[in-house]
Amino acid sequence: MLVRAGLLESERARRTTKLAWPRIITGIARMSKNAVDIAMIGIALGSTAIAGVGFASPYWGFAFAIGGGIAAGTIALVSQRYGAKRLGDIDRAVRSSVAVVIALTLPIVAALWLVPTPLVSLIGDDPAAIAFGADYLKVVALGIPFAALNLIGSRVYIGVDDARTPMMLRSAGALANIAINAVLIFGFGLGVVGAALGTVLSSAVVTGLFAVGLVKGRLPGLGTLPVRIDPRGNYLGTDIRHVVSIGTPVIGRELVFTVAEFPMLVIVALFGSDVVAAYVIARRIWGLMNTPGWGFGLASSSLVGQELGSGHEETAEAYGREIVRFAVAVYLVSAGLVFVFVDEIVAAFVGDPTSSVVPVAVSLVSAACFAIVLRGVSGAAAGPLDASGDTNWTFYSQLLGIFGVSIPIAYLGATTSLGLTGLSLAFLAETTVPAVLNYYRFNSEKWKQVSRDYRSDASA
C-alpha cells in the first residue's frame, strides 16, 4: 500500500522487509517470553512477586544496554565493510566487540550475585517484593554476558544481509525459555528462581550456537555466512577504538532506559504495590508493541551502512527516510490492535479479573498505544545515525526525553493531584522528545559527514 501511494520505492521496500521482518519476529518472541514470565509469576505467586521482578528488571537491563551499545559499533563496522567488499576486516571488528562486551559485563555479574538484596532495596520498600526481586536477580545475573554476546552475534549476521539466522536462533531460545520456565515454575515450584534460571540456560545455549555459526561460517539448515570469524586472532586490535567510540554513546542511550527505570520505579512505588504491578504489566505490553522498531532500526542501520560503505550517500538517505515512513505505518497498525483489545490483553496477566491492578494497567497501556507511534519515528531515524557512527545525538535526545521530561512528569503525578495521569503523560514524553530530535538530526544530513571519518579509516 505504501509503495502504491508513492511513499516507498519498491526495491528498497523489499530489501527493508527482508531484513526487518525476521528481527520483528525475534522481538515478538523475546518480548512474549518476558510477558509470559510475568504472567506465569503473577498466576503462581501474585502481584507482589510481579512487583519484585519489576524491581530487579532494571539490573538485567545492563546486559542489553552494554550489549546493544557495543553491537551498534559492530553493525556499523560490519555493514560498511561488507558494502565496501572488505570482508577480511570484518573478522577484527567482531573479535574486538566480543572482548569489550566480556570486559564490561563480568564485573556487573559479580556485583549482582554478591549483593542482590541491598540493590533491590534501593528501589522498593515492600519486604516481600524485595525478597522476590533479590532471589530473581541473583540467578538471572549469570545470564548477562550471554545476553550481551547474543546481540553481537545477531548484528554480525544482519550486517551481512542475513536476518533470518538470528531470528531462528533467538526466537527458538525465547520459546525454549518459556517451556523451561513453565516446568521450573509450575512443575518444580521454583517460582521466581525458576524464571531466572530458565533465562540463563536459554541465553547460554543461543550464545553457543552463535559462536559455532560465526566460527564455522555456517549452521546446518540455516545457510552460510560470507565471512568466518577466527577465534584465535587478536582480540585487542585497533578496531576496539572504533567499536568503543561508536558504541559508547549507544550504551549511554540504552543506559538512559535502564537507569531511568530506577527513579521511575521508585516514583511508581509511591502509588503502592498494585500500581507497580500495573506499571510492570504495561511495560511488558509496551515491549511487545515496540518490536517493529527492532526490525526497522536494524534494517536501517544495515542498509544505510552498506550504501555509505559503497559511497552511495543519496541512496543511504533514501533508505533512512523511507524506513521512517514504513515504521510509522506498522506502529499505527500494532498500536490500534492493542488499543481495541486492551481489556482482554491486560486480563491475561492477572489471575483475578476483579483486581485493582486491572483498571490501572488498562489506563497505562491505552496511553502507551499513542506514545508508541512516536517511538517508531525516533527508532527508525536513529538507524541511519547509528550506521554512520553519529551516535552522540541519539544518546542526548533520549537522555532529555526521559530525565528532562518523562520522569519529572511522573513525579508530579505521584506528589500532586495530577495522580495516575502523570504516568500516562510520562509515556508520551518519553517518545515525543527523541522522535523530534532524532528526525531533525537525520534531516540535517550531518550524519553523512560523520560517516566519512570511519569510511576513510577503513579504506586506509
pLDDT value at 315 more than 80: yes
Note whether residue 1 is domain-resident: no
What's the total number of domains in the chain? Answer: 1
Asked if the model's pLDDT at residue 49 lies above 60, the reply is yes
Task: Give per-residue pLDDT as tens, 75-96.
Answer: 878 887 887 777 777 888 888 8
Tell me the CA distances in angstroms from 201 to 147, 173, 175, 184, 208, one per residue in order: 11, 9, 12, 12, 11
The CA distance from 81 to 163, in Å, is 17
pTM for the full predicted model: 0.69
Region 303-316: what's the mean pLDDT? Answer: 85
What is the pLDDT, as a whole number, of residue 458? 46
Q: Is residue 239 situated within a structural domain?
A: yes
HSE-CB for 428 with a 13 A CA cutoff: 9
pLDDT band at residue 439 using 50, 70 and 90 as cut-offs: very high
Give residue 89's pLDDT: 74
Which pLDDT value is given to residue 154? 87
Q: What is the pLDDT of residue 109?
A: 92
- Structure-model confidence comparison of residues 8 and 447, the more confident one: 8
Q: Is the pLDDT of residue 242 over 50?
A: yes
Position 347 pLDDT exceeds 60: yes
CA pair distance 358, 377, nearest whole angstrom:
30
Average pLDDT score over residue span 4-15: 92
What pLDDT, on a 0 to 100 scale, did the predictor assign at position 34?
A: 73
Nearest to 102 by CA among 70, 59, 74: 70
Domain that holds residue 119: 10-459
| Structural domain contains residue 3 | no
Q: What is the structure's pLDDT at 166?
A: 85
Say if 5 falls within a structural domain.
no
pLDDT tier at 459, thresholds 50, 70, 90: very low
For residue 455, pLDDT over 70 is answered with: no
Residue 9 vs residue 249, higher pLDDT? 9
C-beta separation of 441 from 393 below 8 A: yes
Residue 2 lies in a domain: no
Element (H, E) at 449: helix 446-459
What contacts 438, CB < 8 A, 6 or more positions away?
A: 377, 378, 381, 382, 385, 393, 394, 397
The pLDDT confidence band at residue 393, using thresholds 50, 70 and 90, is confident
pLDDT tens per residue, range 174-186: 888 889 988 998 8
Chain segment 106-161, per-residue pLDDT in tens = 998 999 999 999 989 988 778 888 999 999 999 999 998 998 899 898 888 888 87
Segment among 31-35, 165-169, 203-207, 315-319 with least mean pLDDT? 31-35
- Residues ≥6 apart with Cβ < 8 Å to 312: none
Instruction: Please choose, from the candidates 435, 292, 271, the residue with its C-alpha nearest in 3D space to the C-alpha of residue 361.
Output: 271
Amino acid 320 reads G
* Interatomic CA distance for residues 272 and 287, integer angstroms: 23
Cβ atoms of 289 and 65 closer than 8 Å:
no
Q: What is the pLDDT of residue 454?
A: 66
Q: What pLDDT band is residue 294 in, cutting at 50, 70 and 90? A: confident
Q: Does residue 4 belong to any structural domain of this protein?
A: no
Q: What is the pLDDT of residues 56-80, one digit of tens each?
A: 888 887 777 888 788 888 887 888 7
What's residue 460's pLDDT?
37
Residue 169 in contact with residue 30, Cβ under 8 Å? no
- Cell, residue 218: 555456517
**Quick check: is 422 in a domain?**
yes
What does the mean pLDDT of the chain come to? 85
Helices (H), 341-420: 342-347, 357-388, 392-399, 407-415
pLDDT for residue 456: 53
Confidence of residue 329 (pLDDT cuts 50, 70, 90): very high
Residue 15 lies in a domain: yes
